[in-house]
Structure 1
Amino acid sequence: MKAFLKNQYDKLIHYLMVYPCNFEITDPGNPYKGKIDYPLMFSQYNNFVNTLINNGVKVQFLDLINSPSQVFSRDIGFVVGDILFISKMKSPERIHEPAALIKFAEKYNIRTYHMQNHIEGGDVVLHDEVMFVGMSRRSTLEACSEVQEVLNSNNIPVKVIPINFDNKKLHLDCVFNSIDKDRCILSSYVYDTDIIKSHFKKVISLKDEDADVLASNFVCLGNNTIVTSNKTTAKLLFEEGVNAIYSDYSEVIKAGGSFTCSTLPILREHN
């Protein structure tokens, strides 16, 4: 099986996901703890998966680990070029989640690199010649240097760029996302806006209240099509000429993640 990614918007071929069998909010400070409507949550998740499949995406599910947050498969790894980087998780309740990804990679003979420093896939936004990495509570500058060394040694021409943002937000993909080669969506929670803007011709600004409900956490399927759980994003992108598909994901969002968080892309078309 092949893995290859150079950005987040080329035609999507293959996603890895984890069915939310053990889904639970464990954060005592989350006001939705103990308030998940599970039948609705499963229905919303199934609708999202069916939307992906109906748009030609191959979806495979990783083995279950006893983790309440495993549905957020984005965090356990990320692909750059033809290398699948296995994340080193910082949260104690999630440190075993990459084991399912390692097992999958071994079964299908996918080229991997195991990170020695803390980094999570939710902080990685790959954009052709650059890889933005959010300096969150769970990703480090040391990890940025480590990834850069691996890319350099494998002749993968991608520059790793650390991005500072408000650490009250869990990951970079909660406050920033690319739409295509020329456009991105960005909230004021990102501090290094000038760095990001230098790599895009157009930046669409997102209001803080929309970022708070994960309006930037959409997925690009290619062919100018995105799937979003936020009606404001759907409207903004529709006005930009993007085919924006809205799908309700409110029950999963209660735990702090939406569509980007719930999907680990391993293959997109490339020239």
Structure 2
Amino acid sequence: MIQLNVTNEFSPLKAVVLGCADSNGSTPKLEDAYDPKSAAHIKAGTYPTIEDMVKEMEAVAVVFKKYGVTVYRPETIESYNQIFSRDIAFVIEDKFIKANILPDREREYEAIEHVWSQIPKENRIIFPEEAHIEGGDVMPHGEYIFVGTYRGDDYSNYITARTNMEAVKFLQEVFPDKKVKSFNLRKSNTVAEDNALHLDCCFQPIGKGKCIIHREGFLEEEEYNWLIDFFGKENCFHIDKKEMYHMNSNIFSISEDVIISEKNFTRLNTWLRSQGFTVEEVPYYEISKQEGLLRCSTMPLIRE
């Protein structure tokens, strides 16, 4: 059995599910793209190759090995995108929660059956059908659970809206002792620079009481301000629209002091080092073309 434990984004990591890219399939058709950034790269003929994505993911696996982290990988499904393991499930405390994802992606979940089967039955949570949720929108933070959502009446018009208010309410029922705080995110099916696909595309708490944030990702000024007040202005690293597009808030903490980041994030990585973090730089630019980065492709199971 796996003894799950995740209460925040940055306590020392002991075990994680890292996605895989070995059999990603050919470049999808434009009409099959799930997000505007993938669509733009399909159109431009710059969609990433399997070879490049495998190399990038292996670079992350090497960093995990260096820090003694146990790494689980999904079983390979022929010609299927299995990179973003955070979308399909997430852990809060000792609960393993199956995300309620786009129906087309259900098979991704079957590929981590070897992990799911090691979780005690009473700790496996399945959301009701009407409650849509993906792990990129969910961040445990001590007594809080931060959740990205979209509250517009036109929710069903956005393939980029992945977590609804039914899911927020259900999460509060599962964790009655936590404060579930939701944030209304900006969505676009067509313009990647205007689309916060998940909460971790425009915000992420890191160690030492700091966070990375993109103001325009939030539809409600007061919810953005709440986060600034919560962390303190001096602890918030603001990223601009271009940096948000390149997924600067989607890095991954191995501990309070160690962060895996993309090697091209020069401004961010310089700031992180100035704040006393050890930055493990990896190439992840090709994977970012699918509107996901390091946090999206990792699903922590155990943190100290």
Question: TM-score, normalized by length of structure 2?
Answer: 0.81
Given that 1:77 and 1:85 are in contact with CA atoms closer than 8 Å, whether structure 2 keeps it comes out as yes
Uncovered stretches (5+) of structure 1, i.e. residues with no partner: none
Given that 2:74 and 2:82 are in contact with CA atoms closer than 8 Å, whether structure 1 keeps it comes out as no
- Aligned AA (1:216): S
Q: Distance in 2 between matches of 1:263 and 1:31?
A: 24
2:228 is aligned with 1:208? no
2:150 is aligned with 1:133? no
Given that 1:18 and 1:64 are in contact with CA atoms closer than 8 Å, whether structure 2 keeps it comes out as no
Q: Distance in 1 between matches of 2:115 and 2:29?
A: 29
Deviation of residue 103 (structure 1)? 4.6
2:205 is aligned with 1:178? yes
Structure 1 match to 2:14: 13
Aligned counterparts, 1:17-166, within 5 A: 17-23=18-24, 25-26=27-28, 28=30, 30-33=39-42, 35=46, 36-65=48-77, 68-89=80-101, 91-109=102-120, 111-116=123-128, 117-136=131-150, 137-152=161-176, 157-166=177-186
Deviation of residue 163 (structure 1)? 0.6
Deviation of residue 194 (structure 1)? 1.7
TM-aligned CA distance change 1:223 to 1:150, over 3 Å: closer
Which deviations, in whole Å up to 9, do the C-alpha atoms of 1:2-60 show, x marking residues without a partner?
11111001001110122112325536262322532333322221111111211221111
Q: Distance in 2 between matches of 1:41 and 1:172?
A: 23
- The number of equivalent residue pairs is 264
- Aligned AA (1:187): H
Deviation of residue 238 (structure 1)? 1.2
> What SS is found at the alignment partner of 1:15?
strand
Deviation of residue 122 (structure 1)? 0.5
Structure 1 window deviating more from structure 2 (139-148 vs 27-36): it is 27-36
TM-aligned CA distance change 1:205 to 1:261, over 3 Å: same
Uncovered stretches (5+) of structure 2, i.e. residues with no partner: 31-35, 151-160, 188-194
Q: Distance in 1 between matches of 2:216 and 2:70?
A: 33
- Aligned AA (2:72): Q
Which deviations, in whole Å up to 9, do the C-alpha atoms of 1:57-81 show, x marking residues without a partner?
1111122345743210001111111
Given that 1:231 and 1:246 are in contact with CA atoms closer than 8 Å, whether structure 2 keeps it comes out as no
- Aligned AA (2:244): A
Given that 2:213 and 2:238 are in contact with CA atoms closer than 8 Å, whether structure 1 keeps it comes out as yes
Structure 1 match to 2:153: none
- Aligned AA (1:105): W
TM-aligned CA distance change 1:161 to 1:59, over 3 Å: same
Aligned identity (percent) is: 26
Which deviations, in whole Å up to 9, do the C-alpha atoms of 1:95-121 show, x marking residues without a partner?
332233355221453621001111000
Structure 2 match to 1:187: 214
TM-aligned CA distance change 1:130 to 1:234, over 3 Å: same
Deviation of residue 219 (structure 1)? 0.5
Q: Distance in 2 between matches of 1:171 and 1:22?
A: 25
TM-aligned CA distance change 1:71 to 1:48, over 3 Å: same
Structure 1 match to 2:302: 267
> What SS is found at the alignment partner of 2:254?
strand
Q: Distance in 2 between matches of 1:130 and 1:223?
A: 18
Structure 2 match to 1:241: 276
